[in-house]
């Protein structure tokens, strides 16, 4: 699932016991980087998987790393490949990602999550450690990056990226879930307060700088963006994160639009899948399963004016080419507006 976890004193605690095997340039864990050997399995609905989709696209890894896309909803067992003909992934030849986890460990005891990297030679999951997956794509897969790929994890900025990202993960990325799945008023109030305290800090930080770290896009921006893209459509109402909308925050809203309008970010967003996932799967929060029609999305295409802060999206690099895997136009009508 996208949010496996438990309730501790009626507050949400995410299960972070991931498979930590890594795919590296030197193959230290037995899985060397190799073009065509692995398949990245994602769902466009999931913010953690969305990170990997963005990074793969920005780095131009489409030819080296194929991608399987699960549907927006899942049952108690796992995500399923219901978007593919016959409900079977055309490369892995399985109907659900759980099958690849069980190929790795027939008694696999933990959450069946996306993103997951699957070894095509065995059909088994190598890792589902979403944070390490993107960092390794950025650092271990460099020989397979496209010409002009941006450096999303510069060695000189690695410590700052992680120091900025840690509270973003704790209070924002995961904080919205702590609000949404709170089992008591006290747990909700605490999560809500911490979420907005940190969003206010980010508002202040981004009022004087275009990106979170350095003068071009880094891993830190990818990590924050996928939460911001889901904020007004889902987290504001469904997760009760409703002090105000993202679109009512000057710097954060401008920052989010700046990234959305950058090739590799907004063109990975499937608003239909996002809303279907949260409103249909979370029956404890939304027992009717009714998916809201709104909010209106046209405002994502409005000018952001962030260029005045300096910097450039790709540093010394170049934008990625057109996306290989297309989000259906009706699932993201903003893209047509941006195209003109």
Task: Give the count of beta carbons closer than 10 Å to the beta carbon of residue 82.
Answer: 15
Query: What is the C-alpha to C-alpha distance for residues 332 and 340, in angstroms, rounded to an integer?
Result: 14
- For 286, counting Cβ atoms within 10 Å of its Cβ (0-12 exposed, 13-18 middle, 19+ buried), the class is middle
Q: Are 192 and 241 in contact (CB under 8 A)?
A: yes
Of the candidates 38, 46, 101, 241, the residue annotated as catalytic is 46
Would you state the torsion angle of the CA atoms of residues 204, 247, 183, 168, taken in this order, to the nearest 10 degrees? Answer: -40
Q: Are 246 and 252 in contact (CB under 8 A)?
A: yes
Residue with tokens 């999951």: 125
Of the candidates 38, 101, 153, 177, the residue annotated as catalytic is 177
User: Annotated catalytic, 179?
Assistant: no
- Between CA 116 and CA 132, with CA 91 as vertex, the angle to 5 degrees is 20
Query: What is the C-alpha to C-alpha distance for residues 153 and 151, in angstroms, rounded to an integer?
Result: 6
User: Annotated catalytic, 241?
Assistant: no
Catalytic annotation, residues: 46, 177
């Amino acid at each position: 699932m996208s949010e496996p976890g438990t309730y501790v004193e009626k507050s949400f605690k995410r299960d972070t016991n991931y498979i930590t095997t890594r795919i590296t340039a030197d193959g230290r864990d037995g899985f060397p980087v190799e073009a065509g050997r692995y398949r990245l399995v994602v769902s466009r609905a999931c913010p953690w998987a969305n990170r990997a989709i963005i990074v793969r696209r920005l780095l131009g890894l489409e030819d080296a790393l194929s991608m399987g896309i699960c549907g927006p909803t899942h049952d108690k067992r796992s995500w399923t490949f219901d978007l593919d003909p016959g409900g079977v992934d055309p490369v892995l030849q399985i109907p659900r990602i759980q099958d690849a986890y069980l190929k790795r460990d027939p008694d696999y005891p933990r959450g069946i999550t996306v993103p997951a990297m699957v070894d095509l030679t065995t059909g088994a999951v190598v890792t589902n450690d979403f944070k390490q997956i993107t960092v390794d794509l950025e650092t271990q897969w460099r020989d397979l990056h496209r010409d002009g790929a941006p450096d999303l994890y510069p060695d000189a900025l690695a410590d700052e990226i992680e120091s900025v990202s840690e509270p973003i993960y704790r209070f924002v990325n995961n904080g919205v879930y702590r609000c949404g799945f709170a089992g008591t008023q006290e747990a909700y109030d605490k999560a809500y307060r911490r979420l907005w305290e940190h969003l206010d800090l980010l508002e202040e930080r981004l009022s004087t700088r275009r990106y979170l770290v350095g003068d071009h896009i880094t891993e830190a921006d990818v990590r924050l963006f996928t939460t911001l893209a889901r904020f007004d459509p889902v987290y504001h109402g469904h997760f009760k994160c409703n002090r105000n909308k993202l679109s009512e925050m000057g710097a954060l809203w401008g920052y989010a639009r700046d990234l959305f309008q950058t090739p590799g970010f907004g063109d990975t967003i499937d608003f239909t899948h996002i809303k279907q996932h949260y409103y249909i799967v979370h029956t404890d929060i939304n027992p009717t399963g009714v998916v809201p029609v709104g909010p209106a999305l046209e405002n994502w295409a409005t000018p952001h004016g962030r260029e005045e802060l300096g910097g450039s999206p790709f540093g010394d690099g170049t934008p990625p080419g057109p996306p290989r895997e297309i989000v259906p136009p009706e699932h993201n009508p903003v893209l047509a507006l941006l195209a003109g």
